Structure 1
Amino acid sequence: MRKKRFSLIHLLLLVLLTVVVTVGVGLGVIYQMVGKEGLSLLEGLHLINEKFVGEYDEGEVVDAALEGMVEGLGDRWSYFLTEEEYEAQNQRRTNQYVGVGVTVNYASEEGLQIVEVTAGGPAEEAGLQPGELITAVDGFSLAGEARYEGANKIQGEEGTTVSLEVRGTDGQTRTVEVKRTKLETDPVSAEMLENNVGYVRLSNFYDRSADRLKEEVTRLQEEGATALAFDMRNNGGGYLSQLTDMLDFLLPEGPIFITRDRAGNEKVTQSDASCVDLPMAVLVNADTYSAAEFFAAELQEWGVAVIVGEPTSGKGYSQQTFELPNGSAVAISTGAYFTGSGTSLIGTGLTLDKEVYLTDQGDAQLEAALELLEQ
Structure 2
Amino acid sequence: MRQKRFSLFQLLLAAALTAAVVLAAGALAVNHLLGGAGGRSLVEAWHLINTRFVGEYDQEAVIDGALEGMVNALGDRWSYTLTADELSAQNQRRTNQYVGIGITVNYANEEGLEILEVAAGGPAEEAGLLPGEVITAVDGISLAGEARYEGADLIQGEEGTTVTLEVLGADGGTRTVEVTRASIETDPVESRMLEGDVGYVALSNFYDNSAQRLEEAVTALQEQGAQALVFDMRDNGGGYLRELTDMLDFLLPEGPIFISRDRAGNEETTYSDASCVELPMAVLVNANTYSAAEFFAAELQEQGVAVIVGEPTSGKGYSQQTFTLAYGGAVNISTAAYCTGSGTSLIGTGLTLDAEVYNTDDGTDAQLAAALELLAE
Q: What TM bracket, shorter-length normalisation?
A: 0.7 to 0.9
Secondary structure (helix, strand or coil) at the match of 1:205 reads coil
Residue 57 of structure 1 is matched in structure 2 by 58
Asked which structure has the greater CA Rg, the reply is 1
- Residue type matched to 2:29 in 1? V
Q: Percent identity?
A: 66
User: Are residues 217 and 87 of structure 1, via their aligned partners in 2, closer, same or farther at CA, if it must alter by over 3 Å?
Assistant: same
Using a 3 Å threshold, how does the CA distance of structure 1 residues 348 and 137 change in structure 2: closer, same or farther? farther
For residue 374 of structure 1, the aligned residue among 368, 373, 376 is 376
1:262: which partner in 2? 263
Aligned partner of 2:236: which letter?
Answer: N
Equivalent residue runs for 1:179-190 within 5 Å: 182-190=183-191
* C-alpha contact 2:19 2:26 (8 A) present in aligned 1: no
Q: Cα 1:371–1:118, aligned 2, differ >3 Å: closer, same or farther?
A: farther
Structure 1 CA distance for aligned equivalents of residues 105 and 242 of structure 2: 23
Residues of 2 paired with 1:310 and 1:296: CA distance? 12
Contact 1:283 1:366 in 2 (8 A): yes
Structure 1: gaps spanning 5 or more residues: 1-17, 105-113, 129-134, 141-149, 162-178
CA RMSD of aligned residues (A): 3.3
Identify the residue that residue 32 of structure 1 maps to in structure 2: 32
Letter of the aligned partner of 1:313 in structure 2? S
1:283-309 CA distance string (max 9 Å, x none): 000100000001000000011000001
- Give the count of matched residue pairs: 321
**How many angstroms apart in 1 are the aligned matches of 2:90 and 2:255?**
34
- Paired residue secondary structure (1:287): coil
Partner of 1:302: 303
SS of aligned partner of 1:48 = helix
Structure 1 counterpart of 2:45: 44
Which has the higher mean CA deviation after the structures are superposed, 36-45 or 72-81? 36-45
Task: Classify the secondary structure of the residue corresponding to 1:218.
Answer: helix
SS at 1:195's partner residue? coil
2-side partners of 1:343 and 1:103: how far apart? Answer: 40
Matched with 1:364 is 366
- Cα distance in 1, alignment partners of residues 257 and 331 from structure 2: 29
The superposition leaves residues 267-297 of structure 1 with CA deviations (integer Å, 9 ceiling, x where unpaired) of 1111111100000000000100000001000
Superposition pairs for residues 1-375 of structure 1, below 5 Å? Answer: 21-22=21-22, 25=25, 28-34=28-34, 35-98=36-99, 102=104, 119=119, 157-158=157-158, 182-359=183-360, 360-375=362-377
Task: Map Cα deviations across residues 61-118 of structure 1 (whole Å, 9 max, x no partner).
Answer: 11110011101101000000000000110111000124685599xxxxxxxxx9x866
Corresponding letter in the other structure for 1:223: Q
Q: Which amino acid aligns with 2:310?
A: G
TM-score (norm 2): 0.76
How far apart are 1:183 and its partner, in Å? 3.4
For residues 277 and 287 of structure 1, the distance between their equivalents in structure 2, rounded to whole angstroms, comes to: 28
* Partner Cα separation in structure 2 for residue 300 and residue 154 of structure 1: 44
| 1:83–1:328 contact (8 Å) kept in structure 2 | yes
- AA matched with 2:63: V
The offset of 1:20, in angstroms, is 7.9
Quick one: distance in 2 between partners of 1:297 and 1:253?
17
Counterpart contact for 1:98–1:155, Cα < 8 Å: no
Change in Cα spacing, 1:139 to 1:238, as seen in structure 2 (3 Å) is closer
Write out per-residue CA displacement over residues 219-257 of structure 1, whole angstroms, 9 at most, x where no aligned residue. 111111100000000000000111000000000011111
Contact kept, 8 Å, 1:202 with 1:230, in 2: the verdict is: yes
Task: Give the distance between the partners of 2:336 and 2:130, measured in 1 at CA.
Answer: 39
CA-CA distance at 1:26 after TM superposition: 5.1
Conserved? CA contact 2:282–2:375, under 8 Å: yes
Aligned partner of 1:4 in structure 2 is none
Give per-residue Cα distances to partners, 1:26-46, cap 9 Å, x unaligned: 554232022211111111111
Per the alignment, do residues 31 and 257 of structure 1 end up closer, same or farther by CA in structure 2, a change over 3 Å counting? same
